[in-house]
Chains A and B, each alone.
Chain A
Amino acid sequence: DAKTTQPPSMDCAEGRAANLPCNHSTISGNEYVYWYRQIHSQGPQYIIHGLKNNETNEMASLIITEDRKSSTLILPHATLRDTAVYYCIVRVPTDSWGKLQFGAGTQVVVTP
């Protein structure tokens, strides 16, 4: 699986959009970009995933650059409950029986 690079931490004001970057310059053509988050002392929560088109769901939007070497997770209106560690993972869904390898992620703190 391709390696990803994320900033270790970022702050965001409540009510504002949070834009979380992820670099994956070695991504291969059949690898998807997945985002999960982990609120303190809880199991990770699936957010969104995509291959090359931008994706949106009720939680967030995923913007993938045309060359697919980077992506941005957008939380449109951050709330205090969005404080969590956000993980960007790239992988082929069917490879390795679906194993997810977690990096260090980005600690997002939403402040009032």
Chain B
Amino acid sequence: GAVVSQHPSRVICKSGTSVKIECRSLDFQATTMFWYRQFPKQSLMLMATSNEGSKATYEQGVEKDKFLINHASLTLSTLTVTSAHPEDSSFYICSARDWKASGGKGQETQYFGPGTRLLVL
């Protein structure tokens, strides 16, 4: 399957600082990427949809000014957690949508990054 990378894999920061997380599709182009957050012992929660060249679409309850998303190229999306607080500590995971036309129909698969563990002190 295709590969999606995330950087950094883990980060510790002080409260009030900003943290940028990168998500890259390494062997395919992704016009759409997604950002998820996962707290301990819980399932993944979709935060936002990132579309190349346009503004991200945020899920209800997710603050767009706090979680800045940029999708400047077909292989890179970034999530910046601004003015991070301890309650933002979580496992952040991105996915990239690989869409292929096949026999007149589309075949879609999403590939996930390995995740970034954020700890805000």
Contacts and interface: CB of A to CB of B under 8 A. Distances in A.
Interface string B31-46: 0101010000001111
Nearest to A92: B108
B44 A94 contact: no
B4 to A, nearest CB: 8
Given A43-B93, A44-B44, A46-B1, A100 B110 contact: yes
Interface residues of A, number: 23
Given A46-B112, A97-B51, A98-B110, 16 more contacts: A36-B112, A38-B44, A43-B6, A43-B93, A43-B94, A43-B95, A43-B114, A46-B1, A46-B109, A97-B49, A98-B97, A98-B99, A100-B34, A100-B95, A102-B44, A102-B45
Main secondary structure of the interface of A (DSSP, over half): loop
Interface of B: 1, 4, 6, 32, 34, 36, 43-46, 49, 51, 57, 91, 93-95, 97, 99, 106-115, 117
Contacts of A103: 43
Interface in A33-90: 36, 38, 41-46, 49, 85, 87
Contact of B115 (A43, A46, A85, A105): A43
A103 B121 CA distance: 30
Contacts of A44: 44, 93, 95, 112
Interface in A86-112: 87, 93-94, 96-105
Nearest to B45: A102
A93 B112 CA distance: 16
Contacts of A100: 34, 46, 95, 110
